[in-house]
Amino acid sequence: MSYKQNVGYKNLEFDRDSIFLVTGGAGFIGSNLCEALLDMGYQVRCMDNFSTGKRENIEGFLHNKNFTLIEDDIRNYGGCLVACKGVDYVLNQAAWGSVPRSIEMPLLYEEINIRGTLNMMEAARQQGVKKFVYASSSSVYGDHPVLPKKEGQEGELLSPYALTKRVDEEYGKLYTKLYGLDTYGLRYFNVFGRRQDPDGAYAAVIPKFIKQLLNDEQPTINGDGKQSRDFTYIENVIEANLKACLASSEAAGQAFNVAYGGREYLIDIYYVLCKALGKDIEPIFGPDRPGDIKHSNADISKARELLGYEPEWSFERGIEAAIEWYRENL
């Protein structure tokens, strides 16, 4: 297989009659997964309770004969069992995100992110699902200082959100070891792109900045803006999910960094956005956010080696596409 074919996901092939279940399918990442799979011609079930997902994210799919919407909650085990019946691949994206919100609502995070994910794993096992791919997070690295972040070098956790994802990974490991369910945890690093919500107190930074700048508002940067992140465009995340579905059983029971492997400083991103949008607005610098880590960038060699992950969207290319999308859709 040539390198070109290895890059991205458009050339990946599954059995034609494969059925995919995307939980949290009306959310930012989930709806992009649904769309990619429908475009490739596969059957997609989307399970969402619309607590954070949005109907407008999936409106365009409702008339597609290959698309089924299941309005249910991953906290309802019976609903999970029904949703998994006859499914080949589960892409479990349903969860509540946001470090600060988890610090405010630890009980809810435990219910949704731990029990909900466990319900899905158990349902997948009972229904004989082939592959169970689930969203983890770079937050599992906690306060470990070494960069780039590498699987197996995790520090003390800094938030209930991070703990929920660590627990999901432990269950994933056990479900592979004890029951033979092929599970793959994807540690997302700061994903951005089309359909990411710019609104609300817990909005991610890129869409929030773009919206504020388009409205000529002065954005607030938490801390000094010198924090760095490995911002990962949504297309790379779709690739990782689909390649995990095709990965060997030897790679199961593990977690993988999903990122581009770059390092962007928040203040630099801010000025890139200002320039791209033709704005000259100085930001306000606010206090550091509790539970945040200062620097986060990924070593992606494990995903490269075991999943064949070859991200083709750099930060620069992704930010261009994202800005274009927000200009048209905000």
Q: What is the pLDDT of residues 103-129, one digit of tens each?
A: 999 999 999 999 999 999 999 999 999
Q: Does the residue 328 lie in any domain?
A: no
**Dihedral sign of CA atoms 301, 305, 307, 308 in order:** positive
pLDDT at 2: 34
Of 246, 13, 34, nearest in space to 131 by CA: 246
10 Å Cβ neighbour count for 326?
22
Q: Give the largest CA-CA distance in the chain.
A: 57
Q: Does the residue 323 lie in any domain?
A: no
Question: What's the structural domain count of the chain?
Answer: 1
Q: Does the residue 270 lie in any domain?
A: no
pLDDT at 7: 78
What angle is formed at CA 82 by the lines to CA 107 and CA 182, rounded to 5 degrees? 75
Q: Does the residue 273 lie in any domain?
A: no
Q: Does the residue 195 lie in any domain?
A: no
pLDDT at 201: 76
Which residue stretches of the chain have pLDDT < 50? 1-4
pLDDT at 1: 33
We report the CATH number of the domain holding residue 44 as: 3.40.50.720
What are the tokens at 43? 């059957």
- The structure's pTM equals 0.96
Among residues 42, 161, 260, 270, the one annotated as catalytic is: 161
pLDDT at 202: 76
What are the tokens at 283? 């930001």
The residue range of the domain holding 81 is 17-189+233-261+293-312
Q: 233 pairs with which residues across the strands?
A: 192
Hey, what's the torsion of the CAs at 117, 119, 124, 127, to 10 degrees? Answer: -170
Q: 256 pairs with which residues across the strands?
A: 186
State yes or no: is 188 an active-site residue: no
Q: Does the residue 244 lie in any domain?
A: yes
Q: Does the residue 49 lie in any domain?
A: yes
Span 217-230, pLDDT tens digits: 999 999 999 999 99
**DSSP conformation letters of 37-93:** HHHTT-EEEEEE-SSS--HHHHGGGTT-TTEEEEE--TT-HHHHHHHHTT-SEEEE-
Q: Does the residue 324 lie in any domain?
A: no
